[in-house]
Homo-oligomer: A and B are copies of this chain.
């Protein structure tokens, strides 16, 4: 209902609001092929061993499709598929009022209210929209693979700005130390109170996962100690409300043919047309 903004999503969300217990939300992002699903699978294993119920939300902003897990994810998470303490769901980009910026925190609220103590949000990091999705989390891990230029690509895409933990996955490749050095020198330039640690993993063999979890835990503790956890949750709520309000306005902003025609043939400037449109719906 929430993914597609159908039925009474509104009252469901209202009823669930007081039931959220404050689940720990971890975002994982990175370019296609960085090994996000494998790392996610490894993290699910660790949190299950601690007795947590774990939800995985795989958000693909480039896909119009929602529902269930993608075939590839199913294969990689096979060991968790029959575990009743694990819930896996893919979300695509269409249908949501307010887009993924609203749908992601809403899905988190539902999963939190349903008793999942840890929620992993996995998303393809290719643009600003995806960065926003990842930053809906308490802690965001950004995955890169070793290779010349990848860390630069990540920086260019704004991924480093949202990283709380940097993960160089597939760290059995020869360029690993070069990429780690690159990332560490970028991080060293930051004046922020939390400097993202750089962790190396080979997720397929489990190598480095313990250290990754240690760094995620360290960040989780820091969030609480610094007051940053409350700030981030406030920001998440703010983004959600903005996206919903925005979605409601968008639904009202249909441009009449006549107005578009005047802009198309140069009789009216585009800003003047926008003013006229807003005035016509009383905004």
Q: Does A238 contact B (CB under 8 A)?
A: yes
Q: Does A157 contact B (CB under 8 A)?
A: yes
The size bracket of the interface on A is 35 or more
Of the residues B63, B238, B263, B266, contact of A240 by C-beta under 8 Å? B263
Given A14-B269, A127-B127: A237 in contact with B261 (beta carbons within 8 A):
yes
CB distance from A208 to the nearest CB of B (A): 27
Q: Does A283 contact B (CB under 8 A)?
A: yes
Given A126-B126, A283-B283: A270 in contact with B244 (beta carbons within 8 A):
yes
Asked if residues B266 and A18 are in contact (CB atoms below 8 Å), the reply is: yes
Q: Does A268 contact B (CB under 8 A)?
A: yes
Asked if residues A244 and B127 are in contact (CB atoms below 8 Å), the reply is: no
Tell which of A14, A130, A241, A277 has the most Cβ of chain B within 10 Å. Answer: A241
Q: Does A259 contact B (CB under 8 A)?
A: yes
Asked if residues A128 and B269 are in contact (CB atoms below 8 Å), the reply is: no
Tell which of A14, A18, A156, A237 has the most Cβ of chain B within 10 Å. Answer: A237
Further pairs besides A14-B271, A241-B260, A244-B270: 17, Cβ < 8 Å? A9-B271, A14-B269, A18-B267, A62-B158, A64-B128, A127-B127, A230-B264, A234-B264, A237-B273, A240-B270, A242-B255, A244-B273, A245-B253, A245-B277, A248-B275, A249-B253, A249-B283
Nearest 6 A/B pairs, CB to CB: A14-B269, A244-B274, A237-B263, A237-B264, A238-B260, A245-B274
